[in-house]
Amino acid sequence: MEPGEVDYGLAYFDHIGRILERAAIAQPFAAMAYHLLLFISVVAAEKENHQAPQLHGDFIGGYLARSAQQYPGASFLGTHFTAISSTATFDAGLAVLLDGFEGWRRP
């Protein structure tokens, strides 16, 4: 970093840290919450660009149709699995995380 440049990674880390502190989440849980938020963001970005279920629906559906008797559990999930978009996955994952973080708040 050059003098006067903003370290946006540190600025983001600090910003989220302040939010989690104001939310009354204890430090160990806040650190994990930050990591989980970062993790889901990175995974969502990777999935958006590589092998999202919705992008391979025809292949997966065809494969499962030929194997339904042998793999009934996979067949059970298949149709709805291939309809899941990266956006829906990100939104659901983030909601689950945020709901879970609520339980980490200090009284």
CB 94 within 8 A of CB 40: yes
Q: Which is higher by pLDDT, 63 or 16?
A: 16
Q: What per-residue confidence (pLDDT) applies to 15?
A: 92
Q: What's the CA gap between 93 and 45, in Å, rounded?
A: 13
- Which of the 8 DSSP states describes residue 24? T
Question: Mean pLDDT, to the nearest integer, of 74-79?
Answer: 81
Tell me if the pTM is above 0.85: no
